[in-house]
Amino acid sequence: MELSQLKKDIDLSLILDEVKVFAPATVANMICGFDILGFALNEPGDEVVMTRRSEPGVVITEITGDDGRLPLDPQKNTVSASVQSLLRNLGLEHEVGVEIKLHKHMPIGSGLGSSSASTVAGLFAINTLLGSPLSREELLPYCVEGERLACGTGHADNVAPALFGGITLIRGYEPLDVIPLPAPKELHVGVIFPQVDVPTRDARQLIKEKIYLKDAVVQWGNIAGLIAGLYEEDYDLIARSMQDVLIEPTRAILIPQFYEMKRIAMEEGALSFGISGSGPSVVAVTRDAHIAQKITEKIQQHLSEAEIESYGYISAVNVDGPRILG
Ligand code: HSE
């Protein structure tokens, strides 16, 4: 995607000295909508502390919570590279310098939109520091480019909900067309991350490039049904529709205990259960927080008996997206 020059009046004397931003984890695909649906979680999420410096240029001085896996080189790190790209297109590359501290509160390669949360936090932070000259719609292409740098493809189903909050539909990619969808209040999820590494790049290479028309018919019926269910707050329709006949059968192989976890979730009253993004995290969708909590505990107990460590998160849909912490 070509990122064009931006014309904005920015008063350099009004640039803030420091800002701290949280951006949320996301569940991409929403089970049936590969690359087109996603929603934001209340937790976990990543934090970026951005401080203005007197020299131009973008530097990263600290990354925590990544077990040393992310590059500090500002050209290679997704957060700094995205911030640099935005400053360049605003014509501020030689005027403004910032220092970034990135605090990761979620595992990398987990299927929770880890790179997206960091990129969105970074871009939201620089925009805030500059006095918010760009709308969230204008920030989105920079977030998508950051995702391309991190995973090799510019899918937007993590960055869009991380940036806008709520449930989002990527109606089209060329040009990007993001539609916000209603988030029924009772909808909750239990998200479980079994501690195995499944990089998005690898999980995408596994998927078949061609699909049968009969499977496509099932899947687009499900996507349409889910969207109708969200508008009508029809939980039975949501449950019937959140099923993935295209991607799950292939990717489930990469996730230990997937079908056992699914059995537990459905027995305990989940509306649906599937892979979060490209996995290995899985998501149980429920109608209330208690059921989500119970399912998460049971699945984590099961994983622990199978000697697989895991993290669990309970959340409603986060309708706010990034927030300024200070
Ligand atoms: N839609 C993407 C995929 C999300 O499933 O590969 C990656 O988090």
CA 299 to centroid of ligand 1, rounded, Å: 23
Q: Is the CB of 155 under 6 A from ligand 1?
A: yes
CA 171 to centroid of ligand 1, rounded, Å: 16
Active site (annotated) includes residue 307:
no
pLDDT at 2 over 70: no
**CA–CA gap between residue 113 and residue 107 (Å, rounded):** 9
- For residue 275, the ligand 1 atom closest to its alpha carbon is 5
Q: Could you give phi then psi for residue 228, rounded to 5 degrees? A: -60, -40
pTM of the model: 0.95
Both tokens of residue 101?
């501290």
Confidence of residue 79 (pLDDT cuts 50, 70, 90): very high
What kind of architecture, by CATH, is found in domain 188-316?
2-Layer Sandwich (3.30)
Marked catalytic residue, from 200, 248, 286, 296: 200
Cis peptide before 133 (omega within 30 of 0): no
pLDDT at 35 over 70: yes
Which residue has the least CA distance to atom 3 on ligand 1? 278
Q: Is the CB of 297 under 6 A from ligand 1?
A: no
CA 34 to centroid of ligand 1, rounded, Å: 7
- For residue 203, the ligand 1 atom closest to its alpha carbon is 6
Q: What is the gyration radius of the CA atoms in the chain, in angstroms?
A: 20
Q: What is the pLDDT of residues 181-215, one digit of tens each?
A: 999 999 999 999 999 877 777 888 888 889 999 99
Q: What is the pLDDT of residues 240-249, one digit of tens each?
A: 999 999 999 9
Q: Do the Cβ atoms of 104 and 114 come closer than 8 Å?
A: yes
Give residue 109's pLDDT.
87
- For residue 29, the ligand 1 atom closest to its alpha carbon is 1
CA 277 to centroid of ligand 1, rounded, Å: 4
Q: What is the pLDDT of residues 130-179, one digit of tens each?
A: 999 999 999 999 999 998 888 778 889 999 999 999 999 999 999 999 99
Which of 26, 30, 34, 119 to mutate for ligand 1's pocket (most ligand atoms within 8 Å of CB)?
Answer: 34
Which residues does residue 100 pair with via DSSP β-bridges, in sequence order? 50, 60
Q: What is the pLDDT of residues 211-232, one digit of tens each?
A: 999 999 999 999 999 999 999 9
CA 44 to centroid of ligand 1, rounded, Å: 18
Active site (annotated) includes residue 147:
yes
What does the pLDDT average to over 52-76?
Answer: 93
The position carrying tokens 């429920």 is 286
What kind of architecture, by CATH, is found in domain 12-180+319-324?
2-Layer Sandwich (3.30)
Map out the domains of the chain as residue ranges: 12-180+319-324, 188-316
Q: Is the CB of 277 under 6 A from ligand 1?
A: yes
Which residue has the least CA distance to atom 8 on ligand 1? 277
Q: Using alpha carbons, select from 84, 89, 91 the residue that is nearest to residue 122.
A: 84
- For residue 113, the ligand 1 atom closest to its alpha carbon is 8
Q: Is the CB of 158 under 6 A from ligand 1?
A: yes
DSSP-derived secondary structure for 182-206: ---TT-EEEEEEES----HHHHHHT
Q: What is the pLDDT of residues 233-288, one digit of tens each?
A: 999 999 999 999 999 999 999 999 999 999 999 999 999 999 999 999 999 999 99
Give residue 1's pLDDT.
61
Q: Is the CB of 29 under 6 A from ligand 1?
A: yes
